Amino acid sequence: MSTSQSTVTAIGVDFGGTSIKMGVARGAELLEVADSIPTGDYPNPDDLIGQIALKVRALRDHHPEVRAVGVGVPGLVDFDTGLVHVLTNVPGWVQIPLKQCLGELTGLPCAVENDANAMTYAEWRYGAAQGLKNVVGLTLGTGVGGGLILDGRVYRGSRWAAGEIGQMSIHYDGVAGHYGNLGALEKYVGNQQIAENAQRRYGQSGLHKELNLCTPKVIADAALAGDPIAQDIWEEIAHWLGTALGSIAWLLNPDAFVIGGGVAQAGDLLFKPLHAKVHSMISKVVAENLQILPARFSNEAGIIGNAAIAGDHVP
């Protein structure tokens, strides 16, 4: 792989727990997007892979210049072999040789990557962090995912498990995460936690709100309309998230954080206090060329990132 090579047209597959989105991309440009596949309609991995392959072949028929297919999955995958070890939220997906199967069914070179790595790759290759040397990508949603580009390459760790920013601790005696890990970041800034926290705050102030009304979008709109509780909630999210980013900045001294996902769509409400918080924690040198950037891509990040990875790895 080299970032200087010419851009290859490839198919990107964004494999989510609910639906599978796919399309043809050339760099940042989406040439065609297929109808998505409801993941739950195909409980057997073989059937699901068959369905993906069907759509891949149809897309390639429309775009004969397609040279590769890349799939991003919500879980652990060995990038070298393309063996999916486990997808926590997709029943039956344990030790599935996805790269091999999809390659055989489509005749295309295939790459399989973790979804957060693919999002980070999209931003690094064609998005907000294009061409920077060291990039930390985050997606803020139900959980907090992350991906790392270090010294100009995807860093995956010893068991392909690197980048789990949501599991990092921001408090040694804090709220327990999914693994019993005290102070897990995503137990503070995940969508559900933001909603519960907002409901509690409104409750304390006598302004009861239903939990399902406390989405990041609603809290952002309230903050923009001048609601002091909502403004406070964003300050607090920035305090927690900024603590984790500050620690990562000390450890990795990156050029940029790129932040996507629903929570990031709050814009300045999040990014302004987050910038202040991170900069309150780091030295001048670490701050020197550190950028905290909103992601360029949103829903299409998976298609673009996975197509880019596959295209960059075409033999």
CB-nearer residue toward a copy of itself: 75 or 305? 75
CB-nearer residue toward a copy of itself: 2 or 6? 2
Smallest distance from a copy of itself to CB 222, Å: 24
Smallest distance from a copy of itself to CB 117, Å: 12
Reference 120, options 144, 142, 139, 143; nearest CA is 139
Smallest distance from a copy of itself to CB 38, Å: 28
Helix (H, G, I), strand (E, B) or coil at 202: helix
CB-nearer residue toward a copy of itself: 33 or 182? 182
CB-nearer residue toward a copy of itself: 58 or 161? 161
User: Exposure of 4 by Cβ count < 10 A (0-12 exposed, 13-18 middle, 19+ buried)?
Assistant: exposed
Smallest distance from a copy of itself to CB 217, Å: 25
Reference 295, options 143, 152, 126; nearest CA is 126
Q: At what angle do helices 268-279 and 228-252 cross, to 10 degrees?
A: 50
Q: Which two tokens stand for residue 84?
A: 């999916």
DSSP assignment of 279-296 equals HTTS-HHHHTT-EEEE-S
Q: How far apart are CA 194 and CA 24, in angstroms?
A: 35
CB-nearer residue toward a copy of itself: 31 or 252? 252
CB-nearer residue toward a copy of itself: 11 or 290? 290
Q: How far apart are CA 188 and CA 227, in angstroms?
A: 21
Smallest distance from a copy of itself to CB 96, Å: 16
Smallest distance from a copy of itself to CB 301, Å: 21
Spatial CB neighbours of 209, under 8 Å, sequence gap ≥ 6: 198, 199, 202, 203
Site residues for a copy of itself per CB under 8 A: 76, 85, 133-134, 146, 148, 150-151, 153, 155-165, 167-173, 179-183, 239-240, 243-244, 246-248, 250-255, 280-283, 285-286, 288-290
Q: How far apart are CA 307 and CA 297, in angstroms?
A: 14
